[in-house]
């Protein structure tokens, strides 16, 4: 395993991070535990969860993923070997079952963190992330920013002060953002400087061969501001394994199970995937491995957050750290990206 330091922190994370959001829905508790055992054995030290998981977020299964990680810690006693990242939800109609009127304000964040600590059976979180901003921004497939008619979003300074309190109390070690924009990231960094509050160390956004929007602005923020990325959905919900090619809908697979994730379908994504599959084939590697290895080699990445519903998938995904993409493969990938830019933002 390769490890990368996150600047201005003592975090040294494995290049592959373990995504967990299928546990409690597509995966059982025992399967989640097996994944953690194997990943840790392979040197994976970053586990990423959220109070909202598993997905899709519904009342019946809500919080199950954190609970599954908690029972693993209680049983294995390996808390000190893991860099544990979780998240607090922002506002949204899809999370009213978590807290009606959830906002990134003091009461909500304090309630969220106490719940996460309890379920995770730990007294500290290594990386506490805002799952998405309190203000309206293009999210989960959205493309364009539209100014709100009435802006009642929680001020960034207010949110950051609460996070600062949690850091001072030792409940949280470092903080990060998710589904953020360059403007939001810079505002958090400026507020940290202005008020002497903790700095964000990571940004967790969707990033894969079908969505390279991070590279337009946030990659520059990462470079100049000593922030690192934690790319999520590196296989575009499984599309970049090639298993949906030719219109196949595999039994039990995420995009077969839930129509709501249709943002990862679409004509330009099909065309781009065909091209990426051709490049991978010519380079003698699987599309999955090429897609993951491409992320592993990007300059802003600290840890590539993979997800798996079986041990075979988990093994293949972790093994992507062994794959080195030659320059001509990266160039061929860029050519396809220029023809089909970001079909699935």
DSSP string, 94-145: GGTTT-TT--SSHHHHHHHHHHHHHHHT-S-EEEEEESS-SS----TT--S-
The residues binding ligand NAP (CB under 6 A) are 19-22, 26, 48, 131, 178-179, 204, 232-238, 241, 243, 253-254, 288, 305-309, 313, 316-317
- 264 vs 340, which CB is nearer to ligand NAP? 264
* Active-site option among 3, 53, 128, 244: 53
Q: Is the peptide bond before 81 cis (omega within 30 degrees of 0)?
A: no
Give me the least distance between CB of 193 and ligand NAP, in Å please. Answer: 25
- 165 vs 243, which CB is nearer to ligand NAP? 243
Give me the least distance between CB of 35 and ligand NAP, in Å please. Answer: 10
Give me the least distance between CB of 26 and ligand NAP, in Å please. Answer: 6
Give me the least distance between CB of 123 and ligand NAP, in Å please. Answer: 22
Instruction: Name beta bridge partners: 39.
Output: none
- 168 vs 249, which CB is nearer to ligand NAP? 249
User: Is 3 labeled as catalytic in the residue annotation?
Assistant: no
Tokens for 244?
């949906």
Tokens for 139?
């999210």
Total Cβ atoms within 10 A of residue 145: 10
Q: Are 294 and 215 in contact (CB under 8 A)?
A: no
- 219 vs 288, which CB is nearer to ligand NAP? 288
Per DSSP, helices labelled H in the chain are: 29-41, 64-76, 106-120, 156-168, 182-195, 218-225, 254-257, 267-283, 287-296, 311-318, 327-339
* Residues belonging to the active site: 53
């Amino acid at each position: 395993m390769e490890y990368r330091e996150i600047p201005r922190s003592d975090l040294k994370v494995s290049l592959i991070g373990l995504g967990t959001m299928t546990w409690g829905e597509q995966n059982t508790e025992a399967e989640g535990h097996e994944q953690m055992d194997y990943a840790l054995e392979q040197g994976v030290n970053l586990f990423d969860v959220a109070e909202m998981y598993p997905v899709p977020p519904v009342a019946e299964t809500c919080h199950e993923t954190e609970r599954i990680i908690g029972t693993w810690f209680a049983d294995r006693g390996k808390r000190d070997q893991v860099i544990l990242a979780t998240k607090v939800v922002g506002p949204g109609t899809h999370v009213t079952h978590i807290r009606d009127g959830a906002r990134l304000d003091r009461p909500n964040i304090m309630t969220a963190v106490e719940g996460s600590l309890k379920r995770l059976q730990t007294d500290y979180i290594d990386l506490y992330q805002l799952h998405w901003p309190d203000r309206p921004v293009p999210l989960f497939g959205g493309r364009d920013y539209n100014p709100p008619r009435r802006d009642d979003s929680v001020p960034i300074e207010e949110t950051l002060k609460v996070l600062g309190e949690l850091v001072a109390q030792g409940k949280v070690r470092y903080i990060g953002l998710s589904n953020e924009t360059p403007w939001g990231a810079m505002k958090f960094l400026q507020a940290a400087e202005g008020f002497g509050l903790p700095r964000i160390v990571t940004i967790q956004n969707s990033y894969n061969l079908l969505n390279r929007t991070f590279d337009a602005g946030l990659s520059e923020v990462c470079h100049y501001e000593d922030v690192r990325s934690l790319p999520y959905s590196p296989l575009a919900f499984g599309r970049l394994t090639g298993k949906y090619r030719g219109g196949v809908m595999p039994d039990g697979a995420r995009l077969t199970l839930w129509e709501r994730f249709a943002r990862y379908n679409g004509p330009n994504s099909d065309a781009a995937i065909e091209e990426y599959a051709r490049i991978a084939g010519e380079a003698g590697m699987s599309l999955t491995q090429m897609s993951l290895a491409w992320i592993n080699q990007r300059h802003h990445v600290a840890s590539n957050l993979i997800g798996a519903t079986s041990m075979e998938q988990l093994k293949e995904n972790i093994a992507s750290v062994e794959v080195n993409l030659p320059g001509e493969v990266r160039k061929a990938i860029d050519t396809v990206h220029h023809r089909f830019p970001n079909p699935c933002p």
